[in-house]
Amino acid sequence: MIVVDAPCSGEGLFRKDNQAASEWSEENVALCSQRQRRILSDVWSSLKQNGILVYSTCTYNEQENEVNLKWLAENQGVEFIDLNIESVWNIEKITSGKAIGYRFFPHRVTGEGFFISALRKIDSEPEIRIRASRNFSEASKKVTEQLQSWSNNPENLKIIKQDDLLIQIPNELYDEMGFISTQLHVVSKGTAVAELKHEKLIPQHAKALAIDLNQSNFPVIDLSLDQAISYLRKDNLLVSEGQRGFALVTYEGTPLGWINQLGNRINNLYPASWRIRMNS
């Protein structure tokens, strides 16, 4: 499903926005109509066969609504969907040739005015062949083996390396993620598992919250409510003494994150940007 809420001339906003009315012109309507067609043309190939496209504007004129939809139907395989609209809703159904749409006038409905239409794609699209190129590398065999015990289903995962960060990606999405990474700037991918520092694996918060986490692989400390609030505030905790190493902290069995036990003190590894302000 794709929703195109297209930029428009804004006739549906006239009642509440005087500036919208003052900016209206026939030239702007024509400009918006051409822009809307470019948007529809650009997104159409991304919609699967039998997929649904919802087209909406906050304007009323035919040029930006029915005319555009008829243009799309003339150039693509389109089936308009007749929605089940109750008469008490005061929505006006519009038919123009094969095109079906609905106008919401602000004096008849609650809210500002807009237009909407739903259509089904009946054309097929050729499949895109995913090439195996990628801009990241798999972690070494040694590191991958070290991390296998951290997951309940390690055979279904690949571990990739991004600088010092180790990230898990499901096997079935590995090639797709590689392809996407070569085409787009990917802000985040997979689940961060650990950071590799001087051959030492430092567990990442995302892994503590992952549903595939093998809790039995780590020391687990279940916190009281007051302790859990303190942990989420990123306060210092006194939950163990003399122990060393990373431990998973939980509340009533639900993972909250990691701590690093250093014998005489504890490092709270909860992300600083996530800390809460609530008092216990």
Hey, which bits of the chain come out as E strands? 2-5, 52-57, 78-80, 92-96, 99-104, 114-121, 137-138, 157-162, 165-170, 191-197, 200-203, 220-223, 244-251, 254-262, 266-268
Q: Are residues 97 and 181 in the same domain?
A: no
Q: What pTM was estimated for this model as a whole?
A: 0.58
The rounded radius of gyration (Å) of the Cα atoms in the chain is: 27
For residue 116, what is the domain's CATH number? 3.40.50.150
Residue predicted with more confidence, 122 or 126: 122
Q: Are residues 209 and 224 in the same domain?
A: no
Give the pLDDT band of residue 30 (cuts 50, 70, 90): very high
User: 3 is written with which tokens?
Assistant: 């929703």
Question: Residues 183-198: pLDDT tens digits?
Answer: 888 888 899 999 999 8
Last residue within a domain, chosen from 121, 150, 181: 121
Biggest distance spanned by C-alpha atoms of the chain: 79
Give me the number of domains the chain comprises.
3
Give the pLDDT band of residue 131 (cuts 50, 70, 90): low
Give CA–CA dist 14/245, Å, rounded: 64
On the question of pLDDT at 135 being above 80, the answer is: no
Give the pLDDT band of residue 43 (cuts 50, 70, 90): very high
Task: Check residue 167 and give its pLDDT.
Answer: 94
Comparing CA positions, the residue from 159, 264, 142 lying closest to residue 204 is: 159
* H or E element in which residue 115 lies: strand 114-121
Give the pLDDT band of residue 123 (cuts 50, 70, 90): confident
Question: Residues 112-121: pLDDT tens digits?
Answer: 889 999 999 9
Residue located via tokens 């919802």: 54
Q: Which domain holds residue 56?
A: 2-121
Q: Are residues 144 and 226 in the same domain?
A: no
